[in-house]
Structure 1
């Protein structure tokens, strides 16, 4: 069986972009390499560009590690920049004839494929899903690791500050990003990086930084100046044209015409993407029941949706480890662990605020362990202040998977305080697989790992968070019951067996035993 996997960024990307989805793709391909009848090929798009504007083309990946070069390909000059917010508002996210033709040419030249499995649609026009019209025998699978088909910001998170429950017919999308991205400038940045990497300069090398950063800064200044000049010119000429038109037609320039309601481009985008998914996908795999529920609410057909809990390379840890006793005696200190990103949607700043406001007796029973890339000076100062209020602070400036065992050994209780509909964080699965219990918000799929309501608090509710911590420290939460009802982590071998069933069956039934729920 031949399977094409797609994601917007190479799973061996030298800059380690793509987060949990890239890690998941690496895990899949590593498992396939252990012995499988699946011949896997990988494609990415939206990252590499020529310095001069040229038509889209596909090629074998020319940069990054030499590992797996024979199966790694990318589309250069896609009309859809990646990641999604780089092409926010672009009509090409739905349709671009040249990029679609390039994708089809890739399938024709490197195929035939039995399955095309999209782990994302970012970087390609969504109309590539129409490939079923050309190759009806291909199985077309879409995994929902985020909400890109429904939200151009991918995470239903408005203005980097609140969960988006209603996009007001797309009207809110236009003011969602805190700043507008200049797509020409971003394409140029991608192009320069691509040329440097293809020439052998690694992104973390001194030579890359010496060549890349100054050029981008100059380009940004020029772009800002040109855009300001163009806006001023458009404002002047636009006003003249409007007055001239009104005078010529006999209209009163002071009279306002009645507003005409038309569908916003963002409303059309969501409707078209959902329509394409419903019309052409054979299966839509949601990584949690929570994700499936969101997709269903936005119109994805229920008969297409399956919950498929992703596998983890750390699944065997669940068999090798046992639950540790939580330090719940009156004078004992509990180590609370946060791993991931210092981002508002991930609940990092909520966590700092909630811990800073803990009553002193409770605060002195909490030690915080943070593993996340360093934030700005203000963020680090706030983190330090929180640590002084607590019993202690252990900080790790990011982490690799090799470092996880050492970090996990310091943690009694993991916290996943997300403020958005986080599909199912990879780090939550990894902590769970090591028998670290999880305190989670009621948004996203992390709560499904334990299925324990006593360990869930209302997202963004500081008092509810305090109440849960107090209950845990007082011994009111029965941890035997917690682990008795917990979901056994899915191994990569088991997950691959489930995927193979998806790839070969057209009449799937949901089964708790196989992890498709």
Structure 2
């Protein structure tokens, strides 16, 4: 069996972009390559740009680690920038013939493939899903690690402040992002980085930083000159959406920009329903959200991600009680200091927790520090809580030490977080989880007493108080709990999915199910956290997606 895996960023990326999806892609490829009778190829697209050559092309990856060079490829100069917020709402996300043709050429030259598994579509036009028209025997699998097909911001997280349950036919998308990047700056940044990396100058080195910064400043001034002189000089404003009419090259169609967002969602959903054999959702909740927005339920299958931490489940055992002998409870937050992840909701809630409850809680926070203000707020908690411990980021091999005294993990997400890796990592160590009612983390414990209403501090505090008062029993939690999937478990399910026959083109779905956006469900992951408001700084930081 020959499998092509796709994600927008290389799974061995020096800059560690792509968050949990990158980790998952690396683990999956390494595990699959160890299997007899399976060969793997990997392709990425949307971040490598060559300032010296125009037009998209595919090639073997020539930069970064030397590991797996025989199977790692990329599309250079893709017409679709990745990640998605770098080309927010660009209609090339659905149709871009030149890039689609390069993708098809890659399949012809490196296939035939039994399976093409998309772990994302960012960096490619959705038209590439039509590959079965050229390769009818190939099985097309699409994994939903985020909500990119129905949300160009990918997280259904409106204006970085609220769960997006209805995009109002695209009108909410018009005002979603607080800052939209100049795509020329992004392409120039990617071009500078690409050419430095090809010459062996790797990100994180002094030489890279010294080369990248000055080059970007020059590029920024060039684009600024273009904006001031060329655009200003023509005395006209470009319509928000414009395309040639079928009858004239002089007249151009002008329309409100929200219509392009409505078309985007409809086109993405139709492409998936029409051309994919299976849509794998990393939790049941993701499937609920996907079907709400039009993905055909018949295509949806839950496929929990395997984790290398699954072995911890057999190596550890549940504690007998949630509280320690002194009556205190140690709760832990791991992850990003981001609004959508619920970090600031948690801070706000802890700051308003009644003193008698706070005095019985030990706090553990393991998160890369955002700024001094966050540190000041964390430090101030020590006046009221039994203790406060903080780690400014962490490595996975440090988790056992960091979590050794933790009684309860907290997953307070404010969006439909597909299934956070940190939740799986704590759960695998028999640490029960208190989760919001959004996203897939709640499925790990599957116990109402350990779920609170998202963004509801009062409900959160009620749940904690019940635990402190001995009204919540761990026996019920672990009876309901789902054992974490190992990589072997996940690979077994993947291979079963891959082995099924491809849907004949004649039987592929041609209609998109009606959606009901008044139903409950949906949100998103904030790929924007940490980006500067300055265009050049934003290009230099180039944020990664969490998944």
Per the normalisation by structure 1, the TM-score is 0.91
Which whole-Å deviations, capped at 9, do the CAs of 1:83-129 have from their partners, x for residues lacking one?
11011121111111110011011111111100000010111001100
| Matching residue of 2:182 | 182
| Closer, same or farther: CA 387–60 of 1 in aligned 2, 3 Å | farther
How many Å apart are 1:388 and its aligned residue?
Answer: 3.8
Q: Structure 2: how far apart are the matches of 1:387 and 1:123? A: 45
Give secondary structure in 2 for the equivalent of 1:69.
coil
Correspondence 1:425 to 2:425 = no
Correspondence 1:479 to 2:478 = no
How many Å apart are 1:499 and its aligned residue?
Answer: 0.5
| Matching residue of 1:243 | none
Q: How does 1:27-426 map to 2 (within 5 A)?
A: 27-52=27-52, 54-224=54-224, 226-227=226-227, 232-233=232-233, 236-237=235-236, 264-328=259-323, 331-426=326-421
Q: Structure 1: how far apart are the matches of 2:192 and 2:389? A: 38
Q: Structure 2: how far apart are the matches of 1:410 and 1:76? A: 48
Q: Structure 1: how far apart are the matches of 2:231 and 2:381? A: 45
Which whole-Å deviations, capped at 9, do the CAs of 1:259-284 have from their partners, x for residues lacking one?
98897100000000000000000000
Preserved contact between residue 387 and residue 393 of structure 1 (Cα < 8 Å): yes
| Matching residue of 1:494 | 489
Q: Which has the higher contact order (CA 8 A, sep 6+)?
A: 2
Q: Structure 2: how far apart are the matches of 1:29 and 1:342? A: 30
| Closer, same or farther: CA 260–143 of 1 in aligned 2, 3 Å | closer
| Closer, same or farther: CA 323–77 of 1 in aligned 2, 3 Å | same
| Matching residue of 2:498 | 503
Per the normalisation by structure 2, the TM-score is 0.86
Q: What is the aligned length?
A: 488
Preserved contact between residue 329 and residue 473 of structure 1 (Cα < 8 Å): no
Q: Structure 2: how far apart are the matches of 1:349 and 1:223? A: 36
Q: Structure 1: how far apart are the matches of 2:34 and 2:320? A: 36
Q: Structure 2: how far apart are the matches of 1:407 and 1:163? A: 31
Give secondary structure in 2 for the equivalent of 1:209.
helix
| Closer, same or farther: CA 387–155 of 1 in aligned 2, 3 Å | farther
Give secondary structure in 2 for the equivalent of 1:355.
helix
Q: Structure 2: how far apart are the matches of 1:424 and 1:482? A: 18
Give secondary structure in 2 for the equivalent of 1:299.
coil
Give secondary structure in 1 for the equivalent of 2:466.
helix
- Out of 302-311 and 384-393, give the one that drifted further: 384-393
Q: Structure 2: how far apart are the matches of 1:160 and 1:141? A: 30
Which whole-Å deviations, capped at 9, do the CAs of 1:242-261 have from their partners, x for residues lacking one?
xxxxxxxxxxxxxxxxx988
| Closer, same or farther: CA 106–450 of 1 in aligned 2, 3 Å | same
Correspondence 1:446 to 2:441 = yes
Correspondence 1:469 to 2:464 = yes
Give secondary structure in 2 for the equivalent of 1:264.
helix
Task: For structure 2, list consecutive stretches of 5 or more residues without a partner in the other structure.
Answer: 239-253, 504-547
Q: Structure 2: how far apart are the matches of 1:223 and 1:128? A: 31
Q: Structure 2: how far apart are the matches of 1:96 and 1:451? A: 43
